[in-house]
């Protein structure tokens, strides 16, 4: 009789495969988690404050209260993800003990280690990590990440950084695929990533794990644009619960993500949503306030 | 012959590739017009609450029920849930396509930490490594034909032209379930 092999790389990246074409929504309590599930979210991300509030209120942002995470896990049937600080392997141990379905090692929280990221191979729970370019994505995968999200600039409602990062990652993959075998050694050096992984990406023309977009998506059209650019799915943070009508906006972003190639469907989804989150232009942010520069 | 894969959400691309690898034409199905163009349908893995909402929102529920009443449909994981006549652990308003006289329990094996790979044994003697991701369990299956078991548990069934499986063959490159499905076409 055969055995169950749990937490294999395939099982860890497999859950992300099931989330493709979907929207993962930031929630701070059970009530928001239920709204997200009813709107058609494929998963929720539990955190203490949405990025827009972290940005406005300042201070150190950390992993959520375990009671809050339990409350969210108990309120919905879809997968629950939660954020740990970059490098904070004990927060990750706690989240694994709480039985979350995925851990986001996230630049949205204050980093706990400015040198090392978490060694994610040591965990049974899978991790998603942010990246602004291909080299960063491959370094996270080397450390054991089972899913990548482009970082964008969280809490702004300005999609321009999300656009830049997904275009950069996918553009660098296309450039890599055009290289000859003897050019891949130097490509690995320049990407600061292991040669074997670089070679695999060049051959496959894609990352070995699922690639979502995050950071600044606030409207159905933003979400559909990210999908047309080649994302496998979308994270929406402050964009939903900082808007005038979270229920309607959440459902509309789900519809636009599904029908991302159908302008009529996106137009229909965009009607009657009330106020979008006010937002901040990324170009107005003072340099130390850019979250996407955390992580390396 | 053309096999469609419901492409509203989930890992539909992997199913399209699996069907094409068997030399059969495959196409993504997102609306009733595309559904009419195929001879059989696969409902892939994904988030079953999301897929069932999208089915309703985009007017696919009644076309899918009609399709499943006469044509071959295979559901894996989330697809198995949608094809079940009864589901435990579903949202109160979750709309099912139905057709398989079984009771299925969502997330029955546990959360992601209990997800696993393992060898399933088909009743025709073939064994394959497949993935169970937050998988549903077939609790009651009195009237259906058993297609595969994992350990002593029934994990794939057939009833008329409908087939359902708790697991994901498409993630590990397993194709026996797809072959059985295709061979059932007239």
Percentage of the residues of chain A whose pLDDT score is greater than 70: 99
pLDDT for the residue A9: 96
Q: Which residue of A11, A40, A42 is in closest CB contact with B116?
A: A11
Residues of B in contact with A266 (CB under 8 A): none
Grade residue A167 by pLDDT with cuts at 50, 70 and 90: very high
CB-based contact A1 B172, cutoff 8 Å: no
Which range among A47-61, A266-280, A281-295, B31-45 has the greatest average pLDDT? B31-45
pLDDT digits (tens, 9 = 90+) for A5-48: 999 999 999 999 999 999 999 999 999 999 999 999 999 999 98
A78 chain-B contacts, CB cut-off 8 A? 47, 49-50
Work out the average pLDDT over B11-17: 96
pLDDT score of A1: 55
Name which of A5, A20, A96 is nearest B11 (Cβ-Cβ): A20
The pLDDT, as a whole number, for residue A293 is 86
pLDDT tens-place string over residues B72-118: 999 999 999 999 999 998 888 889 999 999 999 999 999 999 999 99
Question: Cα distance from A113 to chain B (closest Cα, Å)?
Answer: 26
Total-model pTM: 0.96
- Per-residue pLDDT reduced to its tens digit, B128-162: 999 999 999 999 999 999 999 999 999 999 999 99
Integer Cα distance of B77 and A98 in angstroms? 25
Give percent of chain B above pLDDT 90.
95
DSSP of B68-124, one letter per residue? HHHS-EEEETHHHHHHEEEEES--TT------EEEEEETTTT-SGGG-EEEEEEETT
A83 is catalytic: yes
Q: Which of B96, B36, B27 is nearest to B61 (CA)?
A: B96
Are A99 and B111 in contact (CB < 8 Å)?
yes
* Mutation target among B12, B77, B94, B113 for the A interface, most CBs of A within 10 A: B113
Indicate the pLDDT class of residue B186, thresholds 50, 70 and 90: low
Chain B: closest CA distance from residue A6 (Å): 4
SS3 content of chain A, % helix, strand, coil (to 5): 50, 15, 40
Domains and CATH numbers, chain B: 2-183 (3.40.50.880)
Active site residues of B: 77, 168, 170
Closest CA to A280 of A107, A152, A165: A152
User: pLDDT tens across A101-144, in order?
Assistant: 999 999 999 999 999 999 999 999 999 999 999 999 999 999 99
| Interchain contact, A5 vs B117, CB within 8 Å | yes
* Chain mean pLDDT for chain A: 95
User: According to the model, what pLDDT value does residue A280 have?
Assistant: 84
ipTM: 0.95
d(CA A168, CA A175): 10
- Structural contact between residues B15 and B174, judged by C-beta atoms closer than 8 angstroms: no
- Which one of B14, B112, B118 has the shortest CB-CB distance to A15? B112
Which residues 6+ apart lie within 8 Å of A239 measured at CB?
A157, A216, A217, A218, A219, A222, A249, A253, A276, A277
Residue with tokens 């069934």: B157
DSSP state string for A32-72: HHHHHHHHT-SEEEE-SS-HHHHHHH-S---PPPHHHHHHH
Cα end-to-end span (Å), chain B: 9
Report d(CA A209, CA A270) in Å as an integer: 31
Best of B133, B150, B151, B174 to disrupt the A interface (most A CBs within 10 Å) is: B133
């Amino acid at each position: 009789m055969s055995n169950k092999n749990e937490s294999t790389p395939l099982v860890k990246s497999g859950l992300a495969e099931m989330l493709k074409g979907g929207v993962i929504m930031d929630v701070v309590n059970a009530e928001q988690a239920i709204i997200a599930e009813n709107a058609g979210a494929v998963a929720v991300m539990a955190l203490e404050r949405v990025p827009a509030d972290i940005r406005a209120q300042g201070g150190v942002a950390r992993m959520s209260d375990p009671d809050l995470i339990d409350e969210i896990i108990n309120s919905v049937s879809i997968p629950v993800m939660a954020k740990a600080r970059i490098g904070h392997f004990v927060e990750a141990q706690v989240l694994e003990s709480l039985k979350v379905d995925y851990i986001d090692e996230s630049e949205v929280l204050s980093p706990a280690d400015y040198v090392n990221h978490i060694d994610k191979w040591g965990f049974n729970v899978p991790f998603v990590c942010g990246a602004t370019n291909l080299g960063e994505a491959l370094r996270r995968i080397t450390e054991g990440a089972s899913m990548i999200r482009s970082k964008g600039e969280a809490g702004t409602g300005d999609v321009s950084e999300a656009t830049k990062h997904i275009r950069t990652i996918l553009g660098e993959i296309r450039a890599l695929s055009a290289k000859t075998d003897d050019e891949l050694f130097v490509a690995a050096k320049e990407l600061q990533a292991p040669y074997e992984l670089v070679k695999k990406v060049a051959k496959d023309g894609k990352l070995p794990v699922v690639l979502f977009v995050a950071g600044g998506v606030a409207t159905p059209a933003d979400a559909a644009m990210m999908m047309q650019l080649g994302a496998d799915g979308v994270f929406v943070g402050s964009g939903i619960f900082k808007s005038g009508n979270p229920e309607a906006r959440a459902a509309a972003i789900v519809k636009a993500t599904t029908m991302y190639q159908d302008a009529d469907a996106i137009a229909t989804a965009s009607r009657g949503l009330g106020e979008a989150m006010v937002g901040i232009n990324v170009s107005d942010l003072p340099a130390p306030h850019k979250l996407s520069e955390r992580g390396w | 012959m053309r096999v469609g894969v419901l492409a509203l959400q989930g890992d539909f691309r992997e199913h399209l590739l699996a069907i094409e690898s068997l030399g059969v034409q495959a196409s993504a199905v997102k609306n009733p017009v595309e559904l009419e163009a195929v001879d059989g349908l696969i409902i892939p893995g994904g988030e079953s609450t999301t897929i069932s909402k999208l089915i309703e929102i985009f007017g696919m529920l009644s076309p899918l029920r009609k399709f499943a009443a006469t044509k071959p449909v295979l559901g894996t994981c989330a697809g198995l849930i949608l094809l079940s006549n009864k589901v435990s652990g579903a949202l109160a308003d979750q709309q099912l396509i139905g057709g398989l006289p079984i009771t299925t329990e969502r997330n029955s094996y546990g959360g992601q930490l209990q997800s696993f790979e393992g060898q399933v044994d088909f009743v025709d003697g073939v064994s394959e490594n497949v993935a169970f991701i937050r998988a549903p369990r077939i609790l009651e299956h009195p009237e259906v034909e058993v297609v595969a078991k994992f350990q002593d548990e029934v994990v794939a069934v057939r009833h008329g032209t409908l087939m359902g499986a708790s697991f994901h063959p498409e993630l590990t490159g397993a194709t026996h379930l797809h072959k059985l499905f295709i061979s059932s076409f007239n």
